[in-house]
């Protein structure tokens, strides 16, 4: 069975995993709507960071629930998840300056894919950036199809409603990639 099939099987058997994603996603989108309608932010600075934090927290909560079957374990990893979310928001900001929507979306999805691949390292207590980057490059070369599926899931993670499923499946797939490769 491929890693992608196993990730979907694990997602279906742990369907409750979407609950924290729903909660965090709704809160994040409400904040983005409030910021975009009521607060002026040049270059969408604030919105990019809120989106990065929302996606990072959702992925971290999904992975935490998948691994420990408890939602509150996510709070133990709030610090590293916040840092990775802020870095993700910075990438979103940099890519939004391009002003070419399709290229910006593709680069945003690539940054999100690397964020998903970073989270299993955080949960395993290994936050060595050099080792993680080395593992990511090995992982892509050994199982490119799984990375491609992860990338496609990340593309869909920017769209409301479908993101509830794609974020959870991406979290599981990135974890399975980490423990298998």
- Residues 19-48: tens digit of each pLDDT: 888 889 888 888 877 776 566 556 557 888
**Nearest by Cα to 22 from 48, 66, 57, 52:** 57
Report the domain count for the chain: 1
pLDDT digits (tens, 9 = 90+) for 116-155: 998 888 888 766 778 888 888 998 899 999 999 999 999 9
Range of the domain at 152: 3-180
């Amino acid at each position: 069975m491929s890693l992608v099939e196993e990730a979907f099987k694990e997602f279906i058997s742990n369907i409750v995993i979407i609950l924290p994603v729903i909660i965090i996603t709704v809160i994040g989108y409400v904040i983005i709507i409030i910021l975009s309608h009521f607060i002026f932010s040049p270059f969408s600075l604030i919105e990019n960071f809120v989106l990065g934090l929302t996606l990072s927290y959702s992925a971290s909560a999904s992975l935490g629930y998948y691994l420990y079957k408890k939602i509150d374990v996510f709070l133990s990893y709030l610090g590293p998840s916040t840092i990775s979310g802020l870095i993700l928001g910075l990438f979103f900001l940099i890519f939004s300056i391009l002003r070419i929507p399709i290229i910006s979306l593709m680069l945003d999805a690539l940054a999100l894919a690397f964020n998903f691949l970073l989270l299993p390292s955080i949960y395993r207590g290994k936050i060595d950036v050099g080792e993680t980057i080395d593992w990511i490059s090995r992982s892509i070369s050994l199982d490119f199809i799984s990375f491609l599926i992860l990338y496609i899931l990340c593309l869909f993670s920017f769209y409301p409603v479908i993101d509830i499923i794609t974020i959870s499946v991406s979290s599981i797939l990135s974890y399975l990639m980490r423990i298998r490769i």
